[in-house]
Amino acid sequence: MIESALRSILINDATVKAITTRAYPVTIPQSPVYPLILYTKITGMRDHHLRGPSGHAHPRLQVESWSKTYSEAKYLAVAIREALDGYSGTASGVVIGSILIDSERDAYESEIKIYRTIMDFFIWHEE
């Protein structure tokens, strides 16, 4: 599963690991400890040829850094981007041809006073 592979890449990267190993799919737990990473599949595109599925996919996954300070959220975002952008290899049994960043933006959650950086990545991999 590509989500498990993405999480594995992140929490095993030395720079990311020095900041946090907290990486959650889709939702953040109640009373979270910051900084943390949130990841969500946005689209699940799959390749086909004339005989049907090719066995390759290129979903878009959103990866967010969350922190109590803007600078820490940005520092974590840089670590995430450097761990993922341009990655190719095998993670959690998933063969990944390429991970490429598509976009990056900042946000502030005023109700909980948390900063976040939101990045979208395209991931080409075998299923």
The token pair at 30 is: 């109640």
Q: What is the share, in percent, of the chain residues with pLDDT greater than 90? A: 85
The one-letter amino acid code at 58 reads H
Please write the tens of the pLDDT for every residue from 67-82. Answer: 999 999 999 999 999 9
pLDDT, one tens digit per residue, over 32-53 is 999 999 999 998 877 666 787 7
Which residues of the chain register pLDDT less than 70?
47-49, 54-55
Q: Which CATH class is domain 2-126?
A: alpha beta
| Domain ranges for the chain | 2-126
Confidence at residue 47, expressed as pLDDT on a 0 to 100 scale: 65
Distances (CA, A) of 43 to 13, 26, 121: 25, 13, 11
